[in-house]
Structure 1
């Protein structure tokens, strides 16, 4: 299933995902440790971007690959890698917190994404 998510940048240049159904702390929705760099790469200077994301391939999606699950004592989550984007080598490591697990019901081997 493809899901459309909105990401926005605050006045402090911090990225967050807009996830109204999240009942945890708002700070959990902040995109950090590479996820902010990923969004900066995709947004072309904008303060907001909408992405279609899925744990199943779709056209014309790029993808993040799971490297390893995070250690619970270090915040949990999962570490992903973006090797290329738009035929350019990126080599970006990205940490995604439990919000990714909440969104997919798991930490998928690949997270497919494309600008909506």
Structure 2
């Protein structure tokens, strides 16, 4: 993820699981599931909806919420983030983050696009 902002779409299926919409991802759909706090954050951003577009950057921008890298996950991979000034305590982002963002940034600034 460069200093530029990136937009990602997420959708919630009828059974309640959130997924990131990454048509070029080479792995199984199950890898794209948002779990372990990421689903709670998406519920918050979607405000009861079933789809949400999220703008992300490594640089602060107006109206952005913040995820701060806490530690790299082991042994299952991924990374744990703490939402700054938010009631959600922990968000785990799986290794699909490396496909989408090319790394696990120290800080991720994000907001739902209205």
**Could you tell me how far apart the structure 2 residues matched to 1:115 and 1:46 are?**
12
TM-score, normalization by structure 1: 0.89
Q: How far 1:90 sits from its partner (Å)? A: 1.0
Match of 2:18 in 1: 15
Counterpart of 1:21 in 2: which secondary structure?
coil
Q: How far 1:11 sits from its partner (Å)? A: 0.6
Give the unaligned 5+ runs of structure 1: none
Q: Are 1:38 and 1:92, in contact at CA under 8 Å, matched by a contact in 2?
A: no
**Could you tell me how far apart the structure 2 residues matched to 1:99 and 1:55 are?**
17
Does residue 65 of structure 2 align to residue 65 of structure 1? Answer: no
Match of 1:106 in 2: 103
**Could you tell me how far apart the structure 2 residues matched to 1:99 and 1:91 are?**
21
Does residue 5 of structure 2 align to residue 2 of structure 1? Answer: yes
**Could you tell me how far apart the structure 1 residues matched to 2:109 and 2:45 are?**
14
Give the unaligned 5+ runs of structure 2: none
Counterpart of 1:113 in 2: which secondary structure?
strand
Counterpart of 1:36 in 2: which secondary structure?
helix
Does residue 56 of structure 2 align to residue 56 of structure 1? Answer: no
Match of 2:47 in 1: 44
- Aligned positions, number: 110
TM-score, normalization by structure 2: 0.90
The Cα RMSD (Å) is 1.2
Does residue 82 of structure 2 align to residue 81 of structure 1? Answer: yes
Task: State which drifts further: 55-64 or 5-14.
Answer: 55-64
Does residue 23 of structure 2 align to residue 26 of structure 1? Answer: no
